[in-house]
A and B are shown apart, each in its own frame.
Chain A
Amino acid sequence: MKQLIQGGRVIDPANHIDKKADVLVEDGKIAAVGENLSAEGAEVISAEGKVVVPGLIDMHVHLREPGQEAKEDFVSGTRAAAAGGFTTIATMPNTRPVVDDAAVVRSLQKRAEDEGIVHVKMIGALTKGQQGKELAEVGDMASVGAVAFSDDGHYVQNAKVMLNGFDYLRSFDKVIISHDEETSLVEEGSMNECHRSAMLGLKGRPTVAEDIAVMRDIMLAEYAGARFHVAHISSAKAVEIVRQAKKRGVRVTAEATPHHLTMTDECVDLKDSATKVNPPLRGKADVEALLAGLKDGTIDAIATDHSPHAEEEKDVEYALAPSGFPGLETAVGVLLTDLCHEGKVELPLLISKMTAEPAKILGLTDAGTLSVGAPADITIIDTELKWTVDAEKFYTRGTHSPFVGRKLKGKAVLTMVDGRIVMRDGAIE
């Protein structure tokens, strides 16, 4: 079976391609990328006026399965991914039970195969039960396919445990992803510590909590000679700490989220818990530092930290609401609207941060590229399509997003996984 994606602007950062070209897909694999490819015997998919990119990768997603299916599961979560243009997502292990042994990893892989419509990679817990005390069976999990390890949602408070993690995982060449906010400084905090938090009386989560945590983990990774990835970096100082570490040759990478790249703590409104997220939305200077870091390569990847919660959980007083919101279905629109169309970031750079770069961090050789022979995971983006974010139309179970009601320009209009079209014009096929 052949498909020809015709006439689009093909951006494939992994192969340094950015030109008008056709993409030929044969039996679920990329067969050719070039100009005026023959359409003979192929189903033609017109991409005229649109952008054709490797299927997007989101390396930081919470699918909530097992145990929290009221928030999300593999069915709803992978559909949300497809709707947003993502063909590969990596799901975090802070589920109930925690994904901290190979048996759970395997059973989830089976669930993903049976129910998922995009590729799902498993991130295992770094410590047993994400308790931050003893290492989980990371070697076992790595051998069955866990792509990285993280106690995401929690900061590993004990430095010796973290150092053990770095030392132990070095030989497996797997990265540790850390949610870096020093616990004692953020307990009960609901928003960035800033003038607004001072005036609203909301307990703050200061940037210094992130800065010292990022600094500690970088120092430990450097000492151990191991790989380390900063999840959802949000503070200007932390960006500078990563920049300096990279200059010294530390094997550190970092990701930023669409919301931290585009929104500030000024958005926080006590009436709507949608803006509550960890780390919190930061100040204007932090957002600018994130953009600078994105452009100079300090920040390697964009990840959504897709964190859906059930309507009834989020629909409570601001201080009581759980942190996080869904991000898979709004990422492309928000990034194009607020970064690309505003002239802040060039489209190829953005695509690189959502394809080739996260693939590199997670060691995925079969994703994030349009190389001949690679699985035909392809996303077509209409950068000019105008739409309004409507929670009613979400595939995710999460409802509270700070982007609800936003008028956006740009959207994924087709998602192909292994040559199979899973989303066309916003509808799951």
Chain B
Amino acid sequence: MRNDVLHEALMKFFTDAVRRLPMKELSGLAKNKVSLRGKHVLGLEDFSREEIELVLETAKEMKSIIHRDIKKVPALRGKSIMTVFYEPSTRTRSSFETAGKYLGADVVNITAGTSSIVKGESLRDTLLTVEAMGFDAIVMRHKQEGAAEYATKVVKHPVIVNAGDGAHAHPSQGLLNLFTLLQYKGRLEGLKVAILGDILHSRVARSDIWGMRRMGIEVHLAGPGTMLPRFLAEEPGIFVHERVEDAIRDADAINVLRIQLERQKAGLFPSKREYARLYGINNARLALAKKDVLILHPGPMNKGLEISPEVAYGDHSAIQEQVQNGVAVRMALLALVLMGGKAQ
């Protein structure tokens, strides 16, 4: 048998095999008006309300897969994903890897410490190398704002998924926060969410702001004056407070940001003790919020600093749920950009 005939026969066998597999969780995709197929995931500023809704709906289906005994669907079988992390990460990288694997994709990870990046290879050359190996998606984290945007200019074929670029964006985190809010509150429109801590350096805060505003959530930011960006409250629906109490009052949810300890050395706050006392979230402060307030934290937590253990592990906390939702949302994102549903 000639090679191309063999190839064709094999392809037919696999295609049919894939079709026979139960994929009802993905059947809804084609019905949507919007498609994310081929879309770079750079920041939520690029996402319309309909696109965010599509991700959240799809993530709901994906979450059911995580609970199955056999956690594998062939949605992305034959697709390949490279994660390229220039900054350390536990949950985001493994969450993307898990998401890709549950969907049947081949996932390869490279990190700065163990690759040519330490030999001074430029981001451009690393990206071109990954592209040349045929990868369909590049999930990347980088300390420079705009690195993912830059990547879209360098590569032609792979979809770029931003897993965090400096203080700019962390879109999958923004989406999983929305997904978690929707899960607990049953709606997004009209919610009041407080985001506390180092807003200035936080890509999570920025992706929250873009995504939450798009979905009609009122955003209240609070932290020490040294960690609040100026000029942020110039748009409707964004409020900046210097006292956490003012942001928390009647909040439906509170996203507590991680305080990076090196910020103290940079002079942005005087001491951990003072931060915890004035800005940390504890049960006393929690009482100001709505009774059913939801506590989010992107992790990893500094317990006793920005969040007290009683809050972190208390009844209001959705912090563990966020981790599982992260996998579901990333499954949804990868499936949507790599297979998509045709726009109607």
Q: Which residues of A contact B (CB under 8 A)?
A: 190, 193-195, 197-204, 206, 269-271, 315-320
Contacts and interface: CB of A to CB of B under 8 A. Distances in A.
Q: A194, A201, A271, A317: which has the most chain B beta carbons within 10 Å?
A: A201
A271 B150 contact: yes
B13 interface: no
Interface of B: 45, 122-124, 142, 144-147, 149-150, 152-153, 166-169, 201-203, 206, 209-210, 229-232, 234-235
23 contacts: A195-B231, A195-B235, A197-B229, A198-B231, A198-B232, A201-B145, A201-B201, A202-B146, A202-B167, A203-B167, A204-B229, A269-B149, A270-B145, A270-B149, A270-B168, A271-B152, A271-B153, A317-B145, A317-B147, A318-B144, A318-B145, A319-B146, A319-B166
A200 B145 contact: yes
A98 B269 CA distance: 39
B146 A318 contact: yes
B153 to A, nearest CB: 6
A298 to B, nearest CB: 26
A316 B203 CA distance: 20
A153 B63 CA distance: 54
Contacts of A317: 123, 142, 144-147, 150
Contact of B168 (A202, A271, A316, A320): A202
Contacts of B144: 317-320
Contact of A195 (B45, B167, B234): B234
A355 B146 CA distance: 40
Nearest to A269: B149
- Leading 9 A-B pairs by shortest Cβ distance: A201-B167, A270-B146, A318-B146, A198-B229, A201-B168, A270-B149, A317-B144, A195-B231, A198-B232
Nearest to A202: B145
A277 to B, nearest CB: 15
Contacts of B146: 200, 202, 270-271, 317-319
A96 to B, nearest CB: 21
A55 to B, nearest CB: 39
A320 B122 CA distance: 12
Contacts of A202: 145-146, 167-168
B145 A199 contact: no
A278 B206 CA distance: 25
Nearest to B207: A201
Given A201-B169, A270-B168, A318 B235 contact: no
Given A199-B45, A202-B145, A270-B146, A315 B231 contact: no
A107 B229 CA distance: 48
Contacts of B230: 193, 198, 204, 206
A319 B150 CA distance: 10
A87 to B, nearest CB: 37
Contacts of A193: 230-231
Given A195-B235, A316-B124, A318-B145, A200 B168 contact: yes
A195 B124 CA distance: 30
A197 to B, nearest CB: 7
A271 B160 CA distance: 13
Contacts of A315: 124
A365 to B, nearest CB: 47
Nearest to A191: B145
A331 B88 CA distance: 45
Contact of B210 (A199, A206, A319): A199
Contacts of A195: 231-232, 234-235
A190 B167 CA distance: 12
Nearest to A194: B231
Contacts of B203: 201
A10 to B, nearest CB: 46
Nearest to B234: A195
A272 to B, nearest CB: 8
B209 to A, nearest CB: 7
B145 A190 contact: yes
B167 A199 contact: no
Contacts of B124: 315-316
Contacts of B167: 201-203
A318 B165 CA distance: 11
A316 B202 CA distance: 22
B145 A319 contact: yes
A271 B149 contact: yes
A199 B150 contact: no
Contacts of B210: 199
A132 B151 CA distance: 38
A197 B229 CA distance: 9
A320 B150 CA distance: 11
A202 B206 CA distance: 11
A199 B142 CA distance: 18
B147 to A, nearest CB: 5
A354 B132 CA distance: 50
Nearest to A200: B168
Contacts of A197: 229, 231
Nearest to A268: B146
A305 B104 CA distance: 54
Given A316-B124, A318-B149, A319-B144, 14 more contacts: A193-B230, A197-B229, A200-B145, A200-B146, A200-B206, A201-B168, A269-B149, A270-B150, A271-B152, A317-B123, A317-B144, A317-B146, A318-B150, A319-B145
Contacts of A206: 230
Contacts of A318: 144-146, 149-150
Q: A194, A270, A320: which has the most chain B beta carbons within 10 Å?
A: A270
Contacts of A204: 229-230
A381 to B, nearest CB: 35
A135 to B, nearest CB: 32
B232 A199 contact: yes
